[in-house]
Structures are given as structure tokens and as C-alpha cells.
């Protein structure tokens, strides 16, 4: 069994990006945080630190929980026009009174480093992949590539069908000629599906969702879950002790997909700055 070391690969990517940033006049990422959700605040501070580490200016836009949609839209429009801003990230989830899909569709697609704008989603689904690709799914593909794991002709089972993870991972693997099975909360017999997996990608947020008896020998396992146990320990959705005994490759939590997500955000931001130089 081989550990898919996301921490190590993310470090390598960040070293490369540091050099790319030096060749550019300025790279800026705006992170919009609405409200004071604790997990969101933690993610935003991690993104900010990572930006500073590679020389990207991080522009934090903190807005109150009770902001109305119109005011949030006007903040987005300002960032769309700001030449110092190469990437715009609106931290999700947004408060319930705000229409998230509408907000995401108003970000300039050329600055949409999260890859959530419908134009970028379309470019991914249609297989050209010329727009921005969501960070966690892109990190998953980079990890597979780093370890020479080809999805071509394999059965890939994805558990979780979110717009942020499950659906874009499915598109990326399908574009690489994998056979795709997407499971979700209404899937009747999850184990019947996961037992078919050559590649198993799980991003649900439920501790021990996948046990040892639910996978076959040699499976490649990608765990996107981040769960905090009552003792403070961070674990994924996979029972690591059980599943790692059968897996050929497996991501640890922490140190697997998480660091890759942030590295891909930085990569997309640098890409946006490089594209800007080509556009003007």
C-alpha cells in the first residue's frame, strides 16, 4: 500500500508557483467571506497564509452575515473591475438568504479561480477543460497523475454529488475515459457500488462511511472528507485502518487532498495572472 502524499506534492507545486509569481508584476487573490462561520474562517485564514507563502497578495473582503444580495453583488462587481485582483473566491456556504448560484454566476469567469461559474463548469463538462477547474477535483487528478495512476478504462466510484467536489471529479475522470458511478444520499445499496470501484473518491463529511468490507483488494482510495472527532482528531470519511489494508494507494487525512486543494487555488490564481498578460 502506498500513501498518496498530498502534503509533499502540494509543497512541490508551491515551490514552482513561487518562481512563476516572481516573473509577474503582481498577483492578487480576493477572498470574500460573508458572516462568521468558524470552519469558513479557518479555511480563509489557511488560504491567506498560503498566498503569502508564494508571494500572492491576498485581499480579504469580510462582510457581515446580514448583508443583502444587492450589496454583495456590488462588492463582486468592484472586484471584477479591480486590476489588482486576478482571482475571486467567494467562500461557501453563503447565508441562506443569498442566492449562491446567482452570486457565483456574477463573478468574472476570467477571475473565477474556484471554477464555479457556469461558463467554467460548461468548459469542464464538455471536455475542453480550457476554463478554471475547481480546486479540490483538480488536486485529486494531480495526485493521481503524480503517482502514474491512469483512470482510463477503470471503474471510478464517486460518493457525494456536490457541485464543489463530486460532480467536477466525475467530469474530470470521465474526460479521462473512466467509467463513472456517482453515489449520493439516495443511493440504495452503497456497498454494492463501492465494491466495484477500482478508484474510489469519497467526499461526504461522514466519519467511517466507508469500511474495510466495502472495498475490493487493490482499490485506489481518495478521501476528501474532513471530520473532527470529539477528541479533536481530524479524520476523513474512510475508516483508514480497515481500508488501507486492502488499498493499493490511499490518501491520508490530514495530508492528502486538503493541501492539494489550496495548492490548486494558488495555481489557478497564478494562471489567471498569466492569462491577463496575454489578454491585454
Strand-pairing partners, residue 90, are: 32
> 43 vs 249, which CB is nearer to ligand GUN?
43
Question: Of the listed 86, 111, 112, 114, which one is catalytic?
Answer: 114
| Minimum separation from the CB atom of position 3 to ligand GUN (A) | 23
Residues 34, 160: Cα–Cα separation, whole Å: 25
| Minimum separation from the CB atom of position 142 to ligand GUN (A) | 15
Query: Is-catalytic flag, 114?
Result: yes
Contacts (Cβ under 8 Å, ≥6 apart) of 24: 270, 273, 274, 277
| Minimum separation from the CB atom of position 211 to ligand GUN (A) | 26
> 140 vs 247, which CB is nearer to ligand GUN?
140
> Which grid coordinates are listed for 104?
457565483
| Minimum separation from the CB atom of position 91 to ligand GUN (A) | 5
Site residues (vs ligand GUN, CB under 6 A):
89-92, 114, 135-136, 164
CB-CB contact of 259 with 10 (8 Å)? yes
Residues 22, 28: Cα–Cα separation, whole Å: 13
> 89 vs 209, which CB is nearer to ligand GUN?
89
Query: Is-catalytic flag, 91?
Result: yes
Strand-pairing partners, residue 164, are: none
CB-CB contact of 140 with 221 (8 Å)? no
Question: Of the listed 86, 91, 154, 223, which one is catalytic?
Answer: 91
Residues 220, 172: Cα–Cα separation, whole Å: 16
> 91 vs 271, which CB is nearer to ligand GUN?
91
- Show which residues are catalytic: 47, 91, 114
Amino acid at each position: 500500500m502506498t500513501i498518496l502524499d498530498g502534503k509533499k506534492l502540494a509543497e512541490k507545486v508551491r515551490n514552482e508557483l513561487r518562481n512563476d509569481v516572481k516573473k509577474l508584476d503582481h498577483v492578487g487573490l480576493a477572498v470574500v467571506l460573508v458572516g462568521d462561520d468558524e470552519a469558513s474562517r479557518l479555511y480563509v485564514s489557511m488560504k491567506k497564509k498560503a498566498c503569502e507563502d508564494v508571494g500572492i497578495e491576498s485581499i480579504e473582503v469580510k462582510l457581515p452575515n446580514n448583508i443583502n444580495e444587492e450589496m454583495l453583488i456590488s462588492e463582486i462587481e468592484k472586484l471584477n473591475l479591480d486590476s489588482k485582483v486576478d482571482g475571486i473566491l467567494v467562500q461557501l456556504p453563503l447565508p441562506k438568504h443569498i442566492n449562491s448560484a446567482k452570486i457565483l454566476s456574477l463573478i468574472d469567469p476570467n477571475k473565477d479561480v474556484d471554477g464555479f461559474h457556469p461558463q467554467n463548469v460548461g468548459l469542464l463538462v464538455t471536455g475542453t477543460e480550457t476554463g478554471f477547474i475547481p480546486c479540490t477535483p483538480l488536486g485529486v487528478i494531480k495526485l493521481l497523475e503524480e503517482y502514474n495512476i491512469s483512470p482510463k478504462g477503470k471503474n471510478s466510484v464517486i460518493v457525494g454529488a456536490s457541485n464543489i467536489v463530486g460532480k467536477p471529479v466525475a467530469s474530470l475522470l470521465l474526460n479521462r475515459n473512466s467509467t463513472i458511478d456517482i453515489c449520493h444520499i439516495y443511493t440504495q445499496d452503497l456497498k454494492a457500488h463501492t465494491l466495484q470501484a477500482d478508484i474510489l473518491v469519497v467526499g461526504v463529511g461522514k466519519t467511517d462511511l466507508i469500511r474495510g468490507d466495502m472495498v475490493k483488494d487493490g482499490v485506489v482510495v481518495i478521501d476528501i472528507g474532513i471530520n473532527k472527532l470529539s477528541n479533536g482528531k481530524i479524520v476523513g470519511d474512510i475508516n483508514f485502518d480497515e481500508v488501507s489494508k486492502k488499498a493499493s494507494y490511499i490518501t491520508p487525512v490530514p495530508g492528502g487532498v486538503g493541501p492539494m486543494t489550496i495548492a490548486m487555488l494558488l495555481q489557478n490564481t497564478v494562471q489567471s495572472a498569466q492569462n491577463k498578460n496575454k489578454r491585454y
